[in-house]
Amino acid sequence: MKQELEAIRDRARRELEEAKGQQVLENLRIKYLGKKGELTSILKQMGGLSADERPKIGQLANEIRSFIEEDLVKRATEIKEEEMQKRLEKEKIDVTLPGTRRELGAKHPLSIELDAIKEIFVGMGFEIVEGPEVEYDYYNFEALNIPKDHPARDTQDTFYINDKILLRTQTSPVQVRVMEKQKPPIRIISPGRVYRSDAVDATHSPVFHQIEGLVVDKGITFADLKGTLETFVKRMYGEDSVVRFRPHHFPFTEPSAEVDVQCFNCHGEGCRLCKGEGWIEILGCGMVHPKVLSNCGIDPEVYSGFALGMGLERVVMRKYNIDDLRLFYENDVRFLKQF
Amino acid sequence: MNLSMRWLKEFVTLDEMPIRDFTEAMTMSGSKVEGWEVEGSEIENVIAGKVLSLDKHPDSDHLWITQIAVGSGEPVQIVTGAQNLKVGDVVPVAMNNSSLPGGKKIKKGKLRGVESNGMLCSLGELELTKHDFPYAIEDGIFVLQEDCQLGQPICEALGFNDTKVEFEITSNRPDCFSVIGLAREAAATFDKPLNLHKPVVKAGNGSCKELLDVKVEDTDLCPIYSARVVKNVRVKPSPRWMRERLRAMGVRPINNIVDITNYVMLEYGQPMHSFDIRFIDEGKIRVRRAKDGESITTLDGVERKLTSKNLVIADARKPIAIAGVMGGEYSGIMDDTTAIVFESACFNGASVRTTARDQGMRTDASSRYEKGLDPNNCLPALERACELVELLDAGDVLDDVILDNHSSSERRRIRLDVDWINRFLDLNLNADQMKAILTKLDCEFDGDDILVPTFRPDLEHKADIAEEIARFYGYNKIPGTSLSGGAQGKYSPRQKFNRVINDTMLALGASEIMTYSFISPKYYDKIRMPADSPLRKSLIISNPLGEDSSIMRTTALPSMLEVLSRNYNNRNADACLFELASEYIPTTEDELPTEKTNLIAGMYGNQADYFTAKGMAEQLLERLSVYDYEIEASSEEASFHPGRCAVLRIDGYRLGVIGEIHPKVAENYGIDERIYCFTLDVDLLFQYAKTEKTYVPLPKFPAVTRDLALICDDSIPVLTLEKAIVRGAGNLLENIKLFDVYKGEQIEAGKKSVAFSIVLRSLNDTLTEDRVSGIIKKTIKELEKVGANLRS
């Protein structure tokens, strides 16, 4: 019996080594260790052994059983590993094939920059206020110190609906509306569409966007205007931007200024981008004219303030080197998807 | 406004400084320089030379071989085609390797085999005209009559040594539209004295009072009118110095009288006019509003109808000039003119502006008057003109000035509020420092009062004074400070809401567009808007750029279709776009329209279909937590496919529409593809969106899923079945998912098979089989009521 047991062990080892696949392994387990398996049937014959031999053979049989069991586990692990290897090999793909894509919408470049500008002002404590695009002449002009027949009306060729109603040429009327309703302190920006009767070309559009800002409080100074705008320019164009304030004229501010930033391209030397001036004009601003404050029911002896305004399209054109304003309103997807 | 630096230096002594330093400093004190140009800077190596000999070219019947003396060295041989030369003429010679205006380079070469070492120049080749050198001819070589040396650079010989500086003058500073005005700014900027000269007229040729009678009838529009008479006018070209200055300022020289009026306008900023006295009927000048029905033919030969809004200069019978705008055709200076009237007057700016605009002719004079001129400048300008007449020997000035003056020469007073200005600007200057700046600008003082010069009507308020102080103190020397006070920046709930819509649409794959708010009324036809639709009533722009942009849109659909069409025509295979678009709904005549925000989305290509559009709308609504809307098929939307369109409603309000664009509309836009659009009323969305959210605990008990395969009439919308399921399954219903709709084999004609997965869950316990089958039974009953039966 001993030889038979050892023969079973050797055969089992051999067959296990050759076994391929989980199913073969399971068959071998049944063949050797199952209820009707070879080892079991041999053990059934143990009754015919002497009392002397029985424990020895019994021990040997147990050893062989655990031996086969160990081999089975070992082989099972090996086979699993082999099968995994095979599967992995089979599943190899060309990882350079293009990825599956979901369509992503593109934000309009004007929106992208407008949001960036809003973000900067919100960070400086400004609220965002919007107002009607179709506006009363009063809010667009008269309240802003531009009476009828004022020459400044010439530079803002206006679309009229009737004598009293027009398409706003600036977003300043929003500021007037805020000043009428709200007592200082006021710290707002008013972004939005404005209209001027300019024929469409590469640099003109009858519809464009402006962002205007207004601060009114006790003790607001020209230095506050400068400090606020310097901060804005640095956030917008980088901390190393060089800014200058140049006297200018707007009917609704006094003193008025235009703000230039040193040309990013030539750093003041003069180049094509800045038309040889070394500076690029980016916005207009000034201390709110006392007449405008009193028009809005705010006492200019008590309060003062500043206002600023800039054109969004120009900011965006400069930022992305866009040379034709019409692209913004043509909305060709090949344009939109670039930003 | 162009400025001749040479002219400027007559009034203010500027040390030699690079032109860039000058322009920079002027810009920073408020007179913005747009650019500058050194005269003749493009001309190089062109000199004065003398024709020594002229010989016919052996192989040409029109070319000449010339030998030109150019001062030092050997004469130069040049071949020319000009026929106006004779030996001894002094001409501009472009030598070998020279440059001419416009970047033209001249090099030696051979003309029909004969060597030519340069070129002889015409006026045009030096960018000059006959007006600059009236003795020269235009088609031929410019034969110089100037006092020059051979070999002298031509720029020197022709007096090209001026620099023109172009200024942007703001509308509040009409005084700076003049050499003297800019000289005053320059003097203040560089802290130099301003040397003005008081014109002196000798006259002494008898009084003009017999000849001329002036009366201003409408003094509201003409505060001052002054005139002088010049007899024995000798019309001829003006001297070179005057022509050079005019040229540098961009004004064409004509003849001495015209040039004098232009010269005075440029120097003083005061427009002048001259009339031939023969054409002033009865020698009477009346400044009055035109009578309705009157007309005048102006200098440009156009007959213009006048109204009582137009101020005119009239004689005893008829208008002879439109005041401040343009003279009549007979009022100009002619060859046989012998006596003229010089007019120097001030007209109401608003009136001139209206007239110039209504008559469609803005002139140099009108653009100055519009901004408001100083009445006290009229007489000095008139005197200057007469002084120049005498200087140029252009005629004999008669005695006396005819004057009708209703203006005041009193200076406006503004109190110098030193403390306020210091606080306003965040400066610390004393009264003397401020006064020093203001004195440079011709302000005078009476105690604490500033007496503002009359040419500065823009100085009205202490804020205006603050600006003058700031300009000359230096804007950039004032520090920058941060705003104090803790203001909180924020977006309004509506602004945040719009941003969520934008971001969600982007995430859903739509790209944002921006379109014009105005459209053509024809676009309503293009989208098949019914003739009686209230949306056809739009705000009309009274002065549109063109019909295409003449009304404010009441719907953004045409704008979207326009953009889709443009993309389609640009051969973009697909497009999926959206806009948060404003729409303008008129109210009453005197009131502003309602500006609505509508979300509009549109798409074609990329396998888009009705359900792509609907899915996008549904997901957006879900993101915004807008749930209680109703959707129903509609064949009434004229812009949409009658069988593929649904209207969304919430609380009875129309929330929007989803559908395929009607093929006829697509055709109108030239799109040969199916287009899908949806719109959602953002104002309504905002009203019904749930912005506050609360946490719902995750379910602790398992869900049970049952599939139901149903048969019903093909005409029954799936929504009807879903509603029946909702009624039947009650509050344990967690989800319904449609997973199959089938028509065809094994299904009776006119019927369809619809299969749903129904998910039931209780939040409190595990659902028992009994309860589930009870619910399913009830559900099937509800389904049967609407005509759907379990598929056997």
pLDDT tens-digit profile of A267-310? 888 887 777 788 889 999 999 999 889 988 999 999 999 999 99
Task: Based on the fold, state whether residues B503 and B391 are members of the same structural domain.
Answer: no
Residue type, B313: I
For B292-394, where are the E strands, in sequence order? 295-297, 303-305, 311-314, 319-322, 326-327, 340-346
CB contact under 8 A, A226 and B544: no
Q: What is the mean pLDDT of residues B323-340?
A: 86
User: Mutate which of B36, B421, B494, B511 to test chain A, going by most A C-beta atoms within 10 A?
Assistant: B511
Q: Is A99 inside any structural domain?
A: no
Residue type, B47: I
* Residue A254: domain span: 109-336
CB atoms within 10 A of CB A59: 10
Provide the sign of the torsion angle of the four alpha carbons B745, B748, B750, B751, taken in this order.
Answer: negative
Residue B11 pLDDT level (bands cut at 50, 70, 90) = very high
Task: Based on the fold, state whether residues A147 and A236 are members of the same structural domain.
Answer: yes
Q: Is A154 inside any structural domain?
A: yes
* Residue list, annotated binding site of A for Mg(2+): 254
Contacts of residue A279, Cβ cutoff 8 Å, sequence gap at least 6:
A244, A260, A261, A262, A263, A268
Over 80: is that where the pLDDT of B324 sits?
yes
Chain A partners within 8 Å of B499 (Cβ): 115
Average per-residue pLDDT in chain A? Answer: 89
Task: Based on the fold, state whether residues B152 and B166 are members of the same structural domain.
Answer: no
Q: Are A30 and A23 in contact (CB under 8 A)?
A: no
Average per-residue pLDDT in chain B? Answer: 93
The ipTM (two decimal places) reads 0.86
Task: Based on the fold, state whether residues B233 and B371 are members of the same structural domain.
Answer: yes
Over 80: is that where the pLDDT of B132 sits?
yes
Q: Are B680 and B646 in contact (CB under 8 A)?
A: no
Residue B48 pLDDT level (bands cut at 50, 70, 90) = very high
CB contact under 8 A, A106 and B511: yes
Among candidates B458, B478, B518 on the partner chain, residue whose Cβ is nearest the Cβ of A222: B478
CB contact under 8 A, A149 and B540: no
Task: Based on the fold, state whether residues A59 and A123 are members of the same structural domain.
Answer: no
- How far does CA B295 lie from the centroid of its chain? 33
Chain A partners within 8 Å of B541 (Cβ): 159-161, 167
The answer to whether A131 contacts chain B (CB < 8 Å) is no
Q: What is the mean pLDDT of residues B570-596?
A: 95
CB contact under 8 A, B483 and A291: no
Strand order in the sheet with B412-415: B412-415, B449-452, B444-446
Task: Based on the fold, state whether residues B176 and B106 are members of the same structural domain.
Answer: no
CB contact under 8 A, B467 and A304: no
* Residue B63: domain span: 44-157
Q: Is A31 inside any structural domain?
A: yes
**How many structural domains are present in chain B?**
6
Per-residue pLDDT, A154: 63
Is residue B310 exposed (0-12), middle (13-18) or buried (19+ Cβ within 10 Å)? buried
Residue B361 Cα, gap to closest chain A Cα (Å):
14
Task: Based on the fold, state whether residues B249 and B390 are members of the same structural domain.
Answer: yes
Over 70: is that where the pLDDT of A155 sits?
no
Task: Based on the fold, state whether residues A58 and A117 are members of the same structural domain.
Answer: no
CATH classification of the domain holding B731: 3.30.70.380
**H or E, element range at B775:** helix B769-785
Task: Based on the fold, state whether residues B266 and B371 are members of the same structural domain.
Answer: yes
Over 80: is that where the pLDDT of A195 sits?
yes
- How far does CA B582 lie from the centroid of its chain? 24
Task: Based on the fold, state whether residues A185 and A262 are members of the same structural domain.
Answer: yes
Among candidates A231, A246, A290 on the partner chain, residue whose Cβ is nearest the Cβ of B463: A290
Task: Based on the fold, state whether residues A44 and A121 are members of the same structural domain.
Answer: no
Q: Is B205 inside any structural domain?
A: no
Residues 751-770 of chain B with CB under 8 A from chain A are none
| Boundary (domain end) residue, out of A90, A121, A140 | A90
CATH classification of the domain holding B266: 3.50.40.10
Q: How many residues does chain A have?
A: 339
CB atoms within 10 A of CB B711: 17
The answer to whether A297 contacts chain B (CB < 8 Å) is no
Q: Is B200 inside any structural domain?
A: no
Residue A95 Cα, gap to closest chain B Cα (Å):
25
Q: What is the mean pLDDT of residues B341-364?
A: 91
Chain A partners within 8 Å of B612 (Cβ): none
Portion of chain B with pLDDT greater than 70, in percent: 100
The answer to whether B465 contacts chain A (CB < 8 Å) is no
Task: Based on the fold, state whether residues A257 and A216 are members of the same structural domain.
Answer: yes
CB contact under 8 A, A108 and B514: yes
Task: Based on the fold, state whether residues A226 and A284 are members of the same structural domain.
Answer: yes
Task: Based on the fold, state whether residues B655 and B753 are members of the same structural domain.
Answer: no
User: Mutate which of A136, A195, A249 to test chain B, going by most B C-beta atoms within 10 A?
Assistant: A249
Q: What is the rounded CA–CA span in Å between residue A280 and residue A166?
A: 31
Residues 255-294 of chain A with CB under 8 A from chain B are 255-258, 275-276, 287, 289-291
Task: Based on the fold, state whether residues B172 and B146 are members of the same structural domain.
Answer: no
Q: Are B760 and B703 in contact (CB under 8 A)?
A: yes
Task: Based on the fold, state whether residues A79 and A220 are members of the same structural domain.
Answer: no
Per-residue pLDDT, A210: 95
User: Searching chain A, which residue's CA lies closest to the CA of residue B489?
Assistant: A125
Q: What is the mean pLDDT of residues A22-30?
A: 86
The least confident of A52-56, A183-187, B199-203, B784-788 is: A52-56
Annotation-wise, does B468 bind a ligand?
Answer: yes
In tens, the pLDDT along A179-190 reads 899 989 999 999
User: Mutate which of B481, B561, B571 to test chain A, going by most A C-beta atoms within 10 A?
Assistant: B481
The answer to whether A121 contacts chain B (CB < 8 Å) is yes
CB contact under 8 A, B541 and A167: yes
Task: Based on the fold, state whether residues B133 and B234 are members of the same structural domain.
Answer: no
Taking the whole predicted model, whether its pTM rises above 0.90 is answered as no
Q: What is the rounded CA–CA span in Å between residue B467 and residue B189?
A: 14
User: Searching chain A, which residue's CA lies closest to the CA of residue B544?
Assistant: A159
Task: Based on the fold, state whether residues A188 and A290 are members of the same structural domain.
Answer: yes
Task: Based on the fold, state whether residues B30 and B172 are members of the same structural domain.
Answer: yes
Q: Is A98 inside any structural domain?
A: no
Q: Is B695 inside any structural domain?
A: no
Portion of chain B with pLDDT greater than 90, in percent: 78
Provide the sign of the torsion angle of the four alpha carbons A271, A274, A275, A276, taken in this order.
Answer: negative
CATH classification of the domain holding B583: 3.30.930.10
Q: Is A41 inside any structural domain?
A: yes
| Boundary (domain end) residue, out of A56, A90, A124 | A90
Task: Based on the fold, state whether residues B451 and B536 are members of the same structural domain.
Answer: no
Total beta-carbon pairs less than 8 A apart between chain A and chain B: 245
| Boundary (domain end) residue, out of B375, B405, B435 | B405
Q: Is A102 inside any structural domain?
A: no
CB contact under 8 A, A111 and B541: no
CB atoms within 10 A of CB B394: 24
Q: Are A327 and A334 in contact (CB under 8 A)?
A: no
Task: Based on the fold, state whether residues A280 and A188 are members of the same structural domain.
Answer: yes
Q: Is B330 inside any structural domain?
A: yes
The answer to whether A326 contacts chain B (CB < 8 Å) is no
**How many structural domains are present in chain A?**
2
Among candidates A105, A195, A332 on the partner chain, residue whose Cβ is nearest the Cβ of B572: A332
User: Searching chain A, which residue's CA lies closest to the CA of residue B466?
Assistant: A255
Over 80: is that where the pLDDT of B486 sits?
no
Task: Based on the fold, state whether residues A74 and A134 are members of the same structural domain.
Answer: no
Q: Is B486 inside any structural domain?
A: no
CATH classification of the domain holding A185: 3.30.930.10
CB contact under 8 A, B575 and A333: yes
Task: Based on the fold, state whether residues B34 and B75 are members of the same structural domain.
Answer: no
Residue B136 to residues B65, B84, B95, B256, B658, Cα–Cα distance (Å) = 22, 11, 21, 17, 77
Residue A13 pLDDT level (bands cut at 50, 70, 90) = confident
The residue assigned the tokens 């098979």 is B753
Provide the sign of the torsion angle of the four alpha carbons B221, B225, B231, B236, taken in this order.
Answer: negative
| Boundary (domain end) residue, out of A55, A90, A125 | A90
CB contact under 8 A, A287 and B466: yes
Task: Based on the fold, state whether residues A172 and A129 are members of the same structural domain.
Answer: yes
CB contact under 8 A, A227 and B479: yes
Provide the sign of the torsion angle of the four alpha carbons A88, A93, A94, A99, taken in this order.
Answer: negative
CATH classification of the domain holding B470: 3.30.56.10
Torsion of CA B342, B345, B350, B353, to 10 degrees: 10
B250 or B68, greater pLDDT = B68
Q: Is A270 inside any structural domain?
A: yes
Per-residue pLDDT, A3: 83
Q: What is the rounded CA–CA span in Å between residue A316 and residue A122?
A: 20
In tens, the pLDDT along A198-255 reads 888 988 899 999 999 999 999 999 999 999 999 999 999 889 999 999 999 998 899 9
Over 70: is that where the pLDDT of A50 sits?
yes
The answer to whether B428 contacts chain A (CB < 8 Å) is no
Residue A146 Cα, gap to closest chain B Cα (Å):
12
The answer to whether B467 contacts chain A (CB < 8 Å) is yes
Q: Is A226 inside any structural domain?
A: yes
The answer to whether A187 contacts chain B (CB < 8 Å) is yes
Strand, helix or coil at A192? Answer: strand
Please state at what angle helix B418-425 crosses helix B431-440, rounded to 10 degrees. 90
Per-residue pLDDT, B721: 93
| Boundary (domain end) residue, out of B688, B713, B743 | B688
Q: Is B699 inside any structural domain?
A: no
| Boundary (domain end) residue, out of B688, B712, B738 | B688
For B294-435, where are the E strands, in sequence order? 295-297, 303-305, 311-314, 319-322, 326-327, 340-346, 396-397, 402-405, 412-415
CATH classification of the domain holding B139: 2.40.50.140
Q: Which of A263, A267, A264, A260 is nearest to A282 (CA)?
A: A260
